[in-house]
Amino acid sequence: MKVSIKKLKDLERKVLVTIPVNEYELKFSTKLKNIKTKAKVDGFRKGNVPNDVLEQKYGASIHNEVINELIQETYPKAISENNIRPASSPQVSIDSEDPKKPLTYSAIIEVFPEIKPKLSRWTNYEEFEIEIEENDINLAIDDIKKRYGDWNDVQREARLDDQVVIDFIGKIDGKEFEGNTANDFKLVLGSKSMIPGFEDSIVGKKPSKFSIECTFPEDYFKKDLAGVKAEFEINLKNVQEMKEAKIDKDLFDKLQMEIKDKSEFKNEITSRMKNEVATQEKELTKESMYETLLKTNNFKIPNATVNEQADLMRKDALMRIGHSEDNAGDDLFPIESFMEKAEKRVKLDLLFAELVNHFDIKVEKQNIDDFIDEESKRYKDPEQYKKWITGQPQQLEQFKMIVLEKQLVEKLENVLKSKKKVIKFSELANR
């Protein structure tokens, strides 16, 4: 077998394979002999049919089988022996299949790039520090009081922050569209959970029936509705006002807090916020570190891998709203809307893998056990959790990746330069 590799554009490669005639002939004759022992042809005894008669009857199908088998056997060898890392399925074309000549075929593929990580100390990543102010703590407490409060019917016009119960029917040019209706739909005015103008049009209204006009945003996730004006017939059935929960033992029990009074409650909320902030500081710092690495490491990535990643992201988005690819049109979360994120994800994954090799990072069993010990502290019965998790291979694999990433970040912190960036807790919502 002879193999040659031709570089096409970017990461495309053409693998040219030539297989000697004798390999073809050996396979062909073996298959012909097998058929000869079983074939029934009028005028001949079983097992005594001449080869030329068999070739006339079965030659074409044997030829196709042999060609397919030779390609399936030789392609993986050609890839392996030439240290090629394919990123896509091969597009195979047969250049010569004359039984009297060597079999020649070509396979066009995309390959993964060869990356030599650049770790520049001239570019700083941002090490985040998040400041919590007194007002942030008070807002968090207010949010808890609302979350555990009750909605009570009121006999007045709807105001911002009220919850309304509505039925609605949406139409475009007098025709209904998918997802256009809802009954007994609960909507908090000012939550911005509906398209622009929808909630504002209900503010100031008392329970009644009325119509409103709204325009779907240009970047709406359903392509056929983006930028389109729609009319909604609304039946406002109830206006409800929030009665906030009291800070008392009942609320402490719901929150599973072993505390006695408002002062301890505030201290507990502050402590939880600090723990949350510590996690967010690490995440934001890690994101900045990765962004810095992407800027200093510029390389091509295979289109096939990006397309696969974008497809996975779309499937995940559809699943979150109860859809699948089979029952969702192309206009629902168009694949193009995921391409930029997919490219970034693929670049990071490839760079991540190369950096792990660069630093020779290994995850030992003890590393996983230590991580599980730490995780188990979040549960009422740590030992029961440990027993359960050992029987969850997928979860354990995720833990391995988390530990691997943590070790990589620690290595990067030692070789890259950082600069402090202080932000306020209130700014997190806009990031």
Give yes or no: residues 414 and 287 share one domain: yes
Last residue of a domain, one of 216, 243, 270: 243
Average pLDDT over residues 295-306: 95
Give yes or no: residues 203 and 309 share one domain: no
Over pLDDT 90: what percentage of the chain?
A: 81
Residue 121 forms part of a structural domain: no
pLDDT at 224: 86
pLDDT tens sequence across 160-191: 999 999 999 999 999 998 878 999 999 999 99
Neighbours of 70 (CB within 10 A): 19
Give yes or no: residues 228 and 290 share one domain: no
Instruction: For residue 179, give its domain range.
Output: 150-243
Backbone CA torsion sign across 49, 50, 51, 56: negative
Residue 264 forms part of a structural domain: no
Residue 22 forms part of a structural domain: yes
Residue 145 forms part of a structural domain: no
Give yes or no: residues 300 and 408 share one domain: yes
Give yes or no: residues 174 and 293 share one domain: no
Neighbours of 110 (CB within 10 A): 24
Average pLDDT over residues 8-14: 95
Domain total in the chain: 3
pLDDT tens sequence across 242-258: 999 999 999 999 998 98
pLDDT at 43: 67
Residue 410 forms part of a structural domain: yes
Give yes or no: residues 308 and 364 share one domain: yes
Residue 262 forms part of a structural domain: no
pLDDT tens sequence across 93-130: 999 999 999 999 999 999 999 999 999 877 899 999 99
The CATH number assigned to the domain holding 238 equals: 3.10.50.40
The CATH number assigned to the domain holding 382 equals: 1.10.3120
Give yes or no: residues 308 and 395 share one domain: yes
Q: Cα(388)–Cα(160) distance, rounded to whole angstroms?
A: 46
- Those residues whose C-beta lies under 8 Å from the C-beta of residue 307, and which sit 6 or more positions away, are 335, 342
Give yes or no: residues 289 and 420 share one domain: yes
Q: Which of 89, 144, 87, 158 is nearest to 306 (CA)?
A: 87
The CATH number assigned to the domain holding 19 equals: 3.30.70.1050
pLDDT at 24: 94
pLDDT at 207: 97
Give yes or no: residues 341 and 388 share one domain: yes
Q: What is the DSSP string of 25-51?
A: HHHHHHHHHHHHTT---TTS-TT---H
Residue 341 forms part of a structural domain: yes
Give yes or no: residues 335 and 412 share one domain: yes
pLDDT at 275: 93
Residue 370 forms part of a structural domain: yes
pTM of the complete model? 0.78
pLDDT tens sequence across 20-60: 999 999 999 998 888 777 777 776 767 677 777 777 778 89
Q: How confident is the model at residue 282 (pLDDT cuts 50, 70, 90)?
A: very high
Give yes or no: residues 165 and 72 share one domain: no
